[in-house]
Amino acid sequence: MRRADRPETGARIGRRDFLAMAGLGSTAVLLSGCGIGSGGGGAPKGALRAAFGQPVTDLDPYNAATAVDEASLIVKRLVFDTLVRRQGDRLVPGLASGWKRTDDTTWVFTLRGGARFHDGTPVTAADVVACLKRTKSVASAQTPLWASVTGAEARDDRTVVFHTDGPLGSLPVNLTLLFVVPAARVADPEQKRRPIGSGPFRVTGFTPSTSVELARFDGYWGGRADLPGISMPYIAETSSAITALRNGDVDLLWPIPPDQLPEVTGVGGVTVESVPSWTYFLNWFNCSRPPFNDPNVRRAMCQAVDLPQIVQSLFGRGGQQMRAPIPSTVAGYAAQEPWKHDPAAAKRLLADAGLGRGFTTSMMWFDATGPLARELAESMISSWAEIGVTVRPQSIEKAQWLERLNSLDWDMNLQTNTVTTGDAAFTVGRLYTSKAHRMGYKNPALDQILARAAAAPYGPDRDALYGEACKVIWSDAVGLFPVTLVTGYGRSGRLTGFTPAPNNQPDLAAVGRR
């Protein structure tokens, strides 16, 4: 993997660099090291071999750095359970068999009987209460989702009552992210490596940023999964991952960059599917740091980039230019007028801001954030150079990127983001409040709109409020939102029960094999 602005490391050589220098087959070595195809490792023989394009760095369901991390969520949904699940466009029961809103500030959830954790203990309402307390106590990217929840109580072993400080129509969809573990383990350090949940699979092996090994949990309340286990290696080089898919070394690979889909299309034994996703690229400006604390500087940066040309040339049918800070398929979307490519106008805005000679800044990202991330970064950097803005590229490791992102230690941040719940509350409502302080942007007027949206019941009035919020975020140029991705999945033709997911988190527990 290429790196830009990477600190010198002396004579240390990475594993894949060594394999390349030695002329060894990195794919075969990597996969056998994960226990894939070797009969060893933590996953049992016959396990599904699924390769996602980002590494899993931590499994603790309450880790602040990975609270909404896409790769971690894929595994967490297999190992842990939630009260409510998302199934297509619907919310369906999970650990809760049903729920109701008894008044504006009270929700009552009834737990299903017979659900047990991997250690054999029953799932109770007390566990749910402890998990809510834990997730509220850890400041993370999820924190805004729970800010209006004042607490929960276990009325009995199977009844949980949630209390809010006002109407909160999004509580059920937010609960698709509250992973339930035994109350005694909510702060257990072992949860980072060998967590205990109540999901259809249990963890048998985990090497951060390398592989996750899972075995079927036969005591799962929803019935045994068809496959005995799941092995998820991280293969950094897309070309190696595609070779592994073509050779049958992995059963499932996603997302496949649009320019590389032809390499697996038509290959015998491989089925290719694409789905419009809830995943999109964003480039945030750190609005708390000069010169990006000036909205006109941010607007100049947006006008300098020829997005239609960049999106078409890089992504083709694999992406769609964005017209809002969320994808068009997400509830609460409202289309905005795209930024017109106008370098001359951009230069005038910079001159008005006292930056007529341009300025120097930086952009950070990690290559595995999404397909063609580096190419997208380079294209935008080239556009900014034409208006006198020099951007230092900073391609860094994911763990370092997460640390810097959460501490606001950056000028511009390029990443993909996924609207995991398919609802604007997850991104617009969670990321752009003054209290969230995710990109240094504070706007009391926007806070009021988002507070009204959070309190509103599902329906057109609520969607209209999130539409207003989209307009504010777009016009204030809090970020540049280039492209919504079409996710390409490549899988073995022998797999059954697989459904592509717009949030990049397919239900692997439903997969079988012919």
Q: How confident is the model over 191-239, as pLDDT tens digits? A: 988 999 999 999 999 999 999 999 999 999 999 999 999 999 999 999 9
Own/partner long-range contacts of 98-106 (Cβ < 8 Å, ≥24 apart):
99/172, 104/166, 104/167, 105/163, 105/164, 105/165, 105/166, 105/167, 105/168, 106/161, 106/162, 106/163, 106/164
Q: Is 499 within the bounds of a domain?
A: yes
CATH number, residue 263: 3.40.190.10
Q: Within this chain, do residues 330 and 459 fall inside the same structural domain, yes or no?
A: yes
CA 70 vs CA 256, 289, 417: distances in Å = 16, 27, 8
**Interval 117-174: pLDDT, tens:** 999 999 999 999 999 999 999 988 888 889 999 999 999 999 999 999 988 888 998 9
374 and 249 in a common domain: no
Cβ-in-10-Å burial (0-12, 13-18, 19+) of 360 comes to: exposed
pLDDT attached to residue 12: 29
Domain boundary among 190, 207, 230: 190
In a domain, 75, yes or no: no
DSSP letter at 169 equals T
- Tell me the C-alpha distance between 344 and 327, whole Å: 29
Confidence at 66, pLDDT banded by 50, 70, 90: confident
265 and 336 inside one domain: no
Give the chain's mean pLDDT. 90
Amino acid at 149: V
Q: Which of 137, 167, 190 finishes a domain?
A: 190
If one counts the domains in the chain, the total is 3
pLDDT at residue 18, rounded to an integer: 27
Q: Are 302 and 323 in contact (CB under 8 A)?
A: no
Residue 8 lies in a domain: no
pLDDT at residue 24 greater than cutoff 60: no
Any domain includes 5: no
- Whether residues 231 and 370 share a domain: the answer is no
Average pLDDT over every residue of 326-349: 96
pLDDT (tens digit, 9 = 90+) per residue, 387-413?
A: 999 999 999 999 899 999 999 999 999
Q: Is pTM beyond 0.85 here? A: no
Q: How far apart are CA 293 and CA 315, in angstroms?
A: 31
Q: Give the burial string for 211-226 (b: 16+ CB within 10 Å, else e).
A: bbbbbbbeebbeeebe
Neighbours of 369 (CB within 10 A): 22
Within-domain flag for 420:
yes
Which structural domain, as residue segments, surrounds residue 364? 276-486
In angstroms, the CA 91 to CA 124 distance is 21
Task: Please report, for residues 105, 140, 230, 394, 473, the alpha-carbon distance to residue 147 in angstroms, rounded to integers and kept in the order given.
Answer: 13, 11, 35, 33, 21
Task: For residues 467 and 324, state if they share a domain.
Answer: yes
Lowest-pLDDT choice from 161-165, 227-231, 255-259, 277-281: 255-259
Q: Which residue has the tokens 């090497």?
A: 207
Evaluate whether residue 76 is within a structural domain.
Answer: no
DSSP H helical segments within 138-219, as ranges? 143-146, 171-174
Residues 263 and 290 in one domain: no
Transcribe 273-333 into DSSP letters: EEEEEEEEEEEEE-TTSTTTTSHHHHHHHHHT--HHHHHHHHHGGGEEE-SSSS-TTSBT-
Whether residue 66 is contained in a domain is answered as: no
pLDDT confidence of residue 456: 87
Q: Identify the CATH number of the domain in which residue 369 sits.
A: 3.10.105.10
The answer to whether residues 260 and 291 belong to one domain is no
pLDDT reported for residue 365:
97
Please count the other Cβ atoms lying within 10 Å of the Cβ belonging to residue 434: 12
Segment 440-450, tens digit of pLDDT = 999 999 999 99
479 and 495, same domain (yes or no): no
Asked if 476 and 357 sit in the same domain, the reply is: yes
CA distance 374 to 396: 11
206 lies in the same domain as 159: no
- Looking at the fold, whether 261 and 285 belong to one and the same domain comes out as no
CATH code of the domain covering residue 171: 3.90.76.10
Whether residues 399 and 493 share a domain: the answer is: no
Q: Comparing C-alpha atoms, which of 413, 449, 216, 414 is closest to residue 332?
A: 449
Which letter does DSSP use for residue 81 in this model? Answer: B
Residue 70 lies in a domain: no
Does the bond joining 327 to the residue before it have cis omega, within 30 degrees of 0? no
